[in-house]
Amino acid sequence: MELKTLDGIQFSDIHNAFTNGFIDYGLPPMSSDQLNQMLTRRGFNPSLSIGAFVDDELVSFTLNGIGQWRGKPTAYDTGTATIKAYRGQGMARKIFLETTSVLQKAGITHYLLEVMQTNDKAVNLYKSLGFDVTREFDYFVSELNDLNFNSTIKCNARITQMDLPTESIVDHFWDAKPSWQNTFDAIQRTPQSFAAYGAYMENLLIGYTITELDSGDLTQLAVHKKFRRQGVATQLLKRIAEVLPGNSIKVINVESSILIMMSFLKSIGMERSGQQFEMIKSL
């Protein structure tokens, strides 16, 4: 077995390893283009990502995104897996130890990841490597036909498409900062993939949403505190449902402590599909 960075590795080999590594995780298969779009959005840097190779075959890997997180140079584990035939050999631990060394030499000071709360083996591995839980997330996936937009509308806002806003324009709407793949840094890596809609009272922006259209990923949704519980979010989401090219919508990494968002999603018929931990390690 040889550990080395993924710099210069054919993307088709990365896609093949990714497909085989996650084949039994219950996730829908991703095409090469879909994987490339996901990794680009998350800041994938092959020269700071590590793979394990056996006879030149990529059999285990960590795909890292690089960027700023809370003002600090940070790596984000956007995908770690081992193909089934090579599991149980401690490859993930070896890769993480090698990754830590590579990241430190590159001046990266923090390592961020998310992991399914039910994946005890992975959670315990990360804790043993020095990662601490920072937040808990829920995620929701629903068919558009199952959504219910019949809530009482007390505030009849004007919903219209808008240019992608900047963080400084909308961050006062937030109850929590977005997770890595939902930040404005991530959105701006592939801005052409996203559509933004605003809710207006006269010329005042009172709510907005940003959605990655092809994947149906509702990336950001927020309403000004003075206009909540008046149907503004429902109107925004109804418009998104009208323009999505696919049949489903997903909301990834809703902070579990934000009860108003959890309540809203459930009220329109979205069911929680799973829960994750956000974890971070200082390097």
- Looking at residue 152, what is its pLDDT? 75
pLDDT tens per residue, range 127-172? 999 999 999 999 999 999 999 998 778 888 999 999 999 999 999 9
**Separation between Cα atoms, residue 251 and residue 217, nearest integer Å:** 6
- Looking at residue 27, what is its pLDDT? 73
- Looking at residue 241, what is its pLDDT? 95
Give the closest residue to 220 by CA, choosing from 271, 257, 169, 268.
Answer: 169
Looking at domain 2-108, its CATH superfamily turns out to be: Gcn5-related N-acetyltransferase (GNAT) (3.40.630.30)
Quote the pTM value: 0.94
- Looking at residue 90, what is its pLDDT? 92
Residues of the chain with pLDDT under 50: none
- Looking at residue 82, what is its pLDDT? 95
Domain range summary for the chain, segments of one domain joined by + = 2-108, 139-275
- Looking at residue 200, what is its pLDDT? 97
Sheet with strand 204-212: strands edge to edge: 2-5, 50-54, 57-69, 72-82, 110-116, 272-282, 132-143, 248-255, 217-223, 204-212, 194-201, 158-162
CATH number of the domain located at residue range(s) 139-275 in this protein: 3.40.630.30
- Looking at residue 155, what is its pLDDT? 86
Question: Do residues 206 and 162 make contact, with C-beta atoms less than 8 angstroms apart?
Answer: no
Give the closest residue to 221 by CA, choosing from 276, 230, 234.
Answer: 234
- Looking at residue 64, what is its pLDDT? 98
